């Protein structure tokens, strides 16, 4: 009987920790994206590779976005959150050409999220 009580307590603790970990991860203001080609964000040129965008909301609807690679910040830019009509199906990086023939990130959509990061507005 005592073993059953310990097993039940262990199961409840495991469930509680899993729920807290899931809630913590799902509420973070961050998302991963991959760049297949060189691109600019703000004044920083990014090489192809895997990145993470982490943002904090500021006044007036603006967000401060840190772009990280291998855990280190490689760029910091300003942007906005844009509400999507429905959650994005996939991660997507929308690129636009600049006058000097370089390309810049215009928007980043994250899979299963109903908001996107928008730059340069």
Q: In this predicted model, what pLDDT tens digit does every residue of 38-84 receive, in sequence order?
A: 999 999 999 999 999 999 999 887 999 999 999 999 999 999 999 99
- Say if residue 18's pLDDT is above 60: no
Q: Is residue 75 a part of any domain in this protein?
A: yes
- Say if residue 110's pLDDT is above 90: yes
Q: Is residue 105 a part of any domain in this protein?
A: yes
C-alpha–C-alpha distance, residues 53 and 35, integer Å? 12
The total domain count for the chain is: 1
Q: Residue-wise over 88-117: b if at least 16 C-beta within 10 A, else e?
A: beeeebeeeeeeeeeebbbbbbbeeeebbb
C-alpha–C-alpha distance, residues 18 and 15, integer Å? 5
Q: Is residue 104 a part of any domain in this protein?
A: yes
Q: Is residue 17 a part of any domain in this protein?
A: no
CA dihedral 8, 14, 16, 20 (to 10 degrees): 180
Q: Is residue 77 a part of any domain in this protein?
A: yes
**Tokens standing for 107?**
């928007």
Select from 66, 28, 76, 67 the least CA-distant residue to 49.
67
What is the domain range of residue 96?
Answer: 29-119
Q: Is residue 6 a part of any domain in this protein?
A: no
């Amino acid at each position: 009987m005592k073993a059953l009580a310990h097993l039940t307590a262990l199961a409840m603790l495991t469930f509680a920790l899993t729920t807290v970990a899931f809630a913590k991860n799902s509420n973070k203001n961050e998302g991963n994206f991959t760049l297949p080609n060189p691109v600019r964000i703000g004044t920083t040129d990014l090489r192809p590779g895997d990145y993470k965008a982490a943002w904090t909301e500021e006044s007036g609807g603006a967000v401060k976005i840190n772009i990280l690679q291998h855990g280190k910040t490689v760029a910091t830019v300003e942007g906005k959150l844009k509400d999507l009509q429905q959650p994005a199906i996939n991660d997507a990086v929308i690129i636009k050409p600049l006058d000097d023939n370089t390309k810049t990130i215009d928007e980043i959509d994250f899979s299963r999220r109903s908001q996107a990061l928008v730059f340069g507005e």
